[in-house]
């Protein structure tokens, strides 16, 4: 099937590449000329395991193409995916200018019937707006071309996006008629060969499903972090509490690990957007609002522990930071706890030795740009030289089993602040360390 994917960000690039891997002919469109040129030269703008090789292979086979001109992708396209950004506005709502801009251009350029698929995370009712904008442009041209608008939200985990797309837990399709449903089922058939994971529903329910899924996961994280903070106050161990409740099949172990809060491109934005959706309908979503409040406070828990141990004036202190990305297996630093913790410590006079396997460039060029007092190191052990403490902020695999004797040798004082509770079962206090974690004194 001939497909066009508009937007070559995280969702668009993964979507287009994975569809081409299954034999479809895909054209990816983006207005960013540099990004398109880089993609044509095999340079991938994001880090995602397995993606680079897949892009290069399918580009060489000519089943995956990149262009800046939408008309080039529309000539033979049967399905057009809208996968552009929906950044958060100042009021917390999703900004639809790019989605509706693509819809308008589609209405101006389409020459034959197509199915337009909203892949971007969009508020409930966006499908109706996309449909209206396309029809408005067709009316201006005085032409009648049939088209359908479908909602097909993505459920990709950063760091496992390719795997998630190729072997999905579920494929949600929101459409208005059987023709659109059947076409989308055919498109996804290779991904559901062993088990039918397609869930069909109306467009608005599909749009809502994406927001609710992310808000539910964010709620579990904030709930467990709230419990962790209570555990510290009463002298309980949240790590043991987690095992105790996770063994209940109704609860399970997923997303109940205490830590420094969630970040990334989805949870923060989608929780705010869901609040805004409710607010616009006159409903105060107290629980969802609390999820965000708890998370914002949680990002500073490790910084607060550092201040409690060393004092509010950190002049002359050096801290090794392991991990900058909001989670492992990605270079994404959007809303990462590391940003807030590092800025707070630097403001108090501290110096930072930082290392992350993939996110160093993101930190230097954007998220921590022009912040003085940060040294970016080539390895985790290099950060430790004369450090007063080490802060673990991202649970990368290479941080799981470090040489703790090396830590004691290199550090000025053997102190660890574990923002992900990675070492909670190692009894580091018995190995000569001062060890601080989430949810246990």
Distance, in Å, from the CA atom of 65 to the CA atom of 35, rounded to the nearest integer, reads: 13
State phi, psi for 335 to the nearest 5 degrees. 60, 25
CA proximity to 404, closest of 381, 386, 378, 425: 381
Joined tokens for residue 356: 């992350």
Instruction: Look at residues 341, 294, 340 and name the one whose alpha carbon lies nearest to residue 319.
Output: 341
Encoding tokens for residue 429? 């206090």
Residue 26 backbone dihedrals phi, psi, to 5 degrees: -120, 135
The overall longest dimension of the chain from CA atoms, in Å, is 79
Contact 390, 319 (CB under 8 A): yes
DSSP state of 268: H
Burial class for 93, CB neighbours closer than 10 Å (0-12, 13-18, 19+): middle
Tokens found for residue 257: 């690990």
| DSSP helix/strand/coil, 354 | strand
The catalytically annotated residue of 18, 28, 266, 377 is 266
Residue with tokens 């909602």: 151
Q: Please report, to the nearest 10 degrees, the dihedral formed by the alpha carbons of residues 160, 165, 171, 177 taken in order.
A: 140
Least Cα distance to 210 among 102, 218, 328 occurs for 218
Q: Does the annotation count 200 as an active-site position? A: no
Cβ atoms within 10 Å, residue 253: 12
Q: What's the start-to-end Cα distance of the chain, in Å?
A: 58
- Please tell me the distance from the alpha carbon of residue 372 to that of residue 354, in angstroms, as a whole number: 13
Catalytic residues, by residue number, are 266
């Amino acid at each position: 099937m001939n497909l066009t994917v508009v937007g070559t960000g995280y969702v668009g690039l993964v979507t287009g590449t994975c569809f081409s891997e299954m034999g479809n002919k895909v054209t990816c469109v983006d207005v960013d000329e540099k990004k398109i040129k880089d993609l044509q030269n095999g340079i991938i703008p994001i880090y995602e395991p397995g993606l680079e090789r897949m892009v290069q292979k399918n580009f060489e086979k000519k089943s995956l193409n990149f262009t800046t001109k939408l008309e080039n992708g529309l000539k033979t396209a049967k399905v057009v995916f809208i996968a552009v950004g929906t950044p958060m506005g100042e009021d917390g709502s999703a900004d639809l200018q790019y989605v509706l801009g693509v819809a308008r251009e589609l209405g101006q350029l389409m020459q034959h019937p197509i199915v337009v698929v909203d892949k971007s995370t969009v508020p409930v009712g966006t499908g109706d707006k996309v449909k209206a904008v396309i029809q408005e442009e067709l009316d201006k041209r005085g032409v009648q071309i049939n088209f359908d608008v479908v909602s097909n939200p993505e459920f990709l985990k950063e760091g496992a996006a390719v795997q998630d797309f190729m072997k999905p837990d579920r494929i949600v399709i929101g459409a208005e008629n059987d023709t659109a449903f059947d076409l989308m089922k055919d498109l996804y058939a290779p991904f559901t060969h062993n088990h039918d994971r397609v869930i069909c529903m109306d467009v608005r329910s599909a749009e809502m499903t994406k927001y609710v899924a992310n808000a539910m996961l964010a709620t579990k994280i904030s709930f467990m972090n709230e419990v962790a903070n209570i555990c510290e106050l009463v002298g309980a161990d949240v790590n043991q509490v987690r095992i105790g409740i996770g063994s209940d099949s109704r609860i399970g172990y997923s997303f109940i690990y205490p830590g420094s809060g969630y970040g990334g491109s989805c949870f923060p934005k989608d929780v705010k957007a869901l609040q805004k959706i409710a607010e616009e309908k006159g409903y105060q979503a107290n629980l969802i609002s609390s999820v965000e409040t708890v998370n914002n406070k949680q990002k500073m828990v490790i910084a607060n522990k550092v201040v409690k141990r060393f004092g509010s004036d950190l002049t002359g202190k050096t801290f090794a930071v392991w991990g900058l990305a909001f989670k492992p297996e990605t270079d994404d630093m959007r809303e990462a706890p590391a940003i807030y913790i590092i800025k707070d410590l630097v403001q108090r006079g501290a110096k930072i030795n930082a290392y992350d396997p993939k996110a160093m460039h993101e930190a230097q060029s954007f998220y921590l740009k022009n912040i003085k007092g940060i040294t970016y190191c080539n390895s985790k052990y290099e950060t430790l030289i004369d450090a007063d403490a080490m802060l673990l902020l991202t649970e990368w695999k290479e941080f799981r089993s470090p040489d703790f004797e090396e830590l004691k040798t290199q550090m000025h004082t053997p102190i660890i602040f574990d923002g992900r509770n990675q070492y909670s079962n190692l009894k580091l206090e018995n190995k000569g360390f001062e060890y601080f974690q989430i949810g246990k004194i």
